Amino acid sequence: MNYTPDTGRYDNIEYRKCGESGLKLSAVSLGLWHNFGDNADFNNMCQMCFTAFDNGITHFDLANNYGPEAGSAETNFGKILNNHMKGYRDEMIISTKAGYYMWPGPYGDYGSKKYLTASLDQSLKRMNLDYVDIFYHHRMDPDTPLYETMWALDSIVKSGKALYVGLSNYDGATMEKAAEILDGLHCPFVINQNRYSILDRTVEKNGIIESAVLKQKGMIIFSPLAQGLLTDRYLNGIPDDSRVKTDGRFLNENALSGEMLQKISKLNEIAQKRGQTLAQMALSWVYSREGVTSVLIGASKPEQILQNLKMTENINFTKEEYEEIDRIVNI
């Protein structure tokens, strides 16, 4: 298929800087955690990437273990990029990560220099790229000295295989220590990636947002819809074809208690008053929080991307709305 992007793709979306760096990310970024593995329809993957880029989404976020099977999301994205979008590579921010289990033995997990270096080399081969724009350490490692992991990230940038580095799933105190090491190495650490939503305030409790603002680093948020809880999917019960029924790894029926369903219903009432769907309001809420650079969305079809992009049409909340949302979720 031939692909030519929309000429007006930059007209209707905001771009924010990652902290004090010069790197800007689109308000909405496309995550390839789900729906880009070998069990998904390839043409649909292409259409989702095209739709995203046509509407100003320049950031495509991956990891070595995204699939299923692990690695397949990178392989499939590499095919889309090299077969249809290669001429627009310089308009795109492509990120990947390493830190979770990827291959057997002591060198295929966590945060050693051996693992991070080898994993990125494999990722670049799968995507047929010379470099990624952002390379993340995917999670904190209790066994590897923090300096070694940061030294590995610095050496990766100096090798030319990544332009910037980021940290994912770090808490505030560890991120601050990492930032001191990376800044001392003059390594361009620009972004943190963490889970955050109306329903999940862990980043407020573990200090990561406060630390990111203090250290002038960006924040990109994953799971802003709480694995689909903050959508209209469950307003009338649990559909048979929902992720809860078909894939209980990340969201199961225990999460959908009567109390939770009541919270979702009340949040939906606020969204309706704002002229938004529940999902659009949930995305807007995350994007409105201090220090947030971009919001990662997942999608199973292009129409979901277009619907989620409408979150940028109303990103302002009144003090009363913030307070009512907090009251509903018992914060």
**Domain range annotation of the chain:** 15-228+279-315
pLDDT number for residue 238: 72
Per DSSP, which regions of 5-155 are E strands? 15-17, 24-26, 28-31, 59-61, 93-98, 132-137
**Strand-pair partners of 17:** 24
d(CA 102, CA 99): 8
Which residues of the chain fall short of a pLDDT of 50? none
CA atoms within 13 A on the CB side of 75: 13
Tens-digit pLDDT profile for residues 10-54: 999 999 999 999 999 999 999 999 999 999 999 999 999 999 999
CB 229 within 8 A of CB 260: yes
CB 59 within 8 A of CB 294: yes
pLDDT number for residue 331: 66
CB 288 within 8 A of CB 322: no
What residues have CB less than 8 Å from 313, skipping those under 6 apart? 280
Q: Give the global pTM.
A: 0.94
What tokens appear for 198 in the block?
């109306």
pLDDT number for residue 252: 63
Assign 22 to helix, strand or coil.
Answer: coil
Cα radius of gyration (the chain): 19
Give the position of tokens 């209209």: 232
What tokens appear for 76 in the block?
């499939």
CB atoms within 10 A of CB 184: 11
Give the position of tokens 């972004």: 191
Assign 136 to helix, strand or coil.
Answer: strand
The DSSP secondary-structure symbol of 81 reads I
What tokens appear for 199 in the block?
């329903």
pLDDT number for residue 250: 56
d(CA 199, CA 224): 9
What tokens appear for 43 in the block?
């043409």
pLDDT number for residue 1: 79
Bridge pairing between strands 24-26 and 15-17: antiparallel
CB 168 within 8 A of CB 192: yes
What tokens appear for 329 in the block?
């979720």
One CATH from 3.30.450.40, 3.50.50.60, 3.40.390.10, 3.20.20.100 for 15-228+279-315 = 3.20.20.100
pLDDT number for residue 164: 98
pLDDT number for residue 321: 98
What tokens appear for 317 in the block?
């909340």
